[in-house]
Amino acid sequence: MGNQISKYLKIAIFYRTIAVIRNKNLGFGIPASKGVIPFCSDFSIGINKRDDILNSYSHFMTEIINLKNVVLKAAEGKRCFAVF
């Protein structure tokens, strides 16, 4: 039970951090005289990835596939935000 609560707490903190980064109106200033927050059209967030037994992919292979998808989207000219 403790691990499950810890997992959800980490996810909640992560999403709050993303919200602060993406929306400068949340009350947290940028420690600089000027800041720009870019618009991203694609988000790729990998939290606690596991092996894909059905497709015979290891943890490492699923990370590589996610990386490939982000690189392909970026090559198409899309602005991507990725956390691995």
One digit per residue, the tens of pLDDT, for the chain of length 84 reads: 556 666 666 777 777 777 666 655 555 566 777 777 677 888 777 777 777 888 888 888 888 888 899 899 999 998 888 877
Dihedral sign (CA 30, 23, 13, 67): negative
Q: Domain residues of the chain, as ranges?
A: 1-32, 38-84
Radius of gyration of the chain (CA): 16
Look at residue 76 in the predicted model and tell me its pLDDT.
Answer: 93
